Amino acid sequence: YDLELALRQAVATDGFDVHYQPVVDVRDGSARGVEALLRWDRPGVGPLSPAVFVPVLEDTGLIVDVGRSVLTRAVTHLARWRASGVVDEDFTMSVNVSPRQLFDTGFAQDLADLLRARDVPGSAVVLELTESCVLEGDDATLRVLHDLRALGVELALDDFGTGYSALSYLRDFPVTRVKVDRSFVNGIGRSPRDEEVVRAVVAVSTALGLALTAEGVETPAQRDAVLAMGVTHGQGWLWARALPPAELAAWLGAGA
Footprint of Na ion (CB under 5 A) = 96, 128, 158
Q: Which of 25-33, 82-90, 149-157, 212-220 is the region at the interface with ligand G (rule: CB under 6 A)?
A: 212-220
- Residue 92 or 98 with smaller CB distance to ligand G: 98
Q: What is the C-alpha separation between 243 and 227, in angstroms, rounded?
A: 25
Alpha helices in 119-188 (DSSP H): 139-150, 166-172, 182-185
In sequence order, which residues have a C-beta less than 8 Å from that of residue 118 and are 6 or more positions away? 75, 76, 78, 79
Q: What is the C-alpha separation between 172 and 77, in angstroms, rounded?
A: 32
Q: What part of residues 12-41 is at the interface with ligand G (CB under 6 A)?
A: 21, 37-38
Here the contacts of 182-188 (C-beta below 8 Å, separation 24 or greater) are 182/215, 182/216, 182/236, 183/216, 185/214, 185/215, 185/216, 185/217, 185/222, 185/226, 185/236, 186/216, 186/218, 186/222, 188/221, 188/222, 188/225, 188/226
Q: Which of 7-15, 25-33, 157-165, 181-189 is the region at the interface with Mn ion (rule: CB under 5 A)?
A: 157-165
Nearest alpha carbon to residue 14 among 38, 36, 47, 49: 38
Q: What part of residues 103-142 is at the interface with ligand G (CB under 6 A)?
A: none
Secondary structure element (H or E) that encloses residue 4, with its range: helix 3-13
Q: Which of 72-80, 106-114, 155-163, 248-256 is the region at the interface with Mn ion (rule: CB under 5 A)?
A: 155-163
242 binds ligand G (CB under 6 A): yes
131 binds Mn ion (CB under 5 A): no
50 binds ligand G (CB under 6 A): yes
245 binds ligand G (CB under 6 A): no
User: Pick from 58, 131, 154, 158: which binds Mn ion (CB under 5 A)?
Assistant: 158
CB 244, min distance to ligand G, A: 13
Q: Name which of Na ion, Mn ion, ligand G, none residue 37 binds, using a CB cut-off of 5 to 8 Å depending on partner kind.
A: ligand G
- Residue 27 or 240 with smaller CB distance to Na ion: 240
Q: How many CB atoms lie within 10 A of CB 237?
A: 13
Looking from the CA of 152 toward its CB, the CA atoms found within 13 Å total 11
Q: Name which of ligand G, Mn ion, Na ion, none residue 222 binds, using a CB cut-off of 5 to 8 Å depending on partner kind.
A: none
CB 163, min distance to ligand G, A: 12
- List contacts with Mn ion (CB under 5 A): 128, 158
- List contacts with ligand G (CB under 6 A): 21, 37-38, 49-51, 54, 63, 67, 70, 96, 98, 158-159, 182, 215-218, 235-237, 242
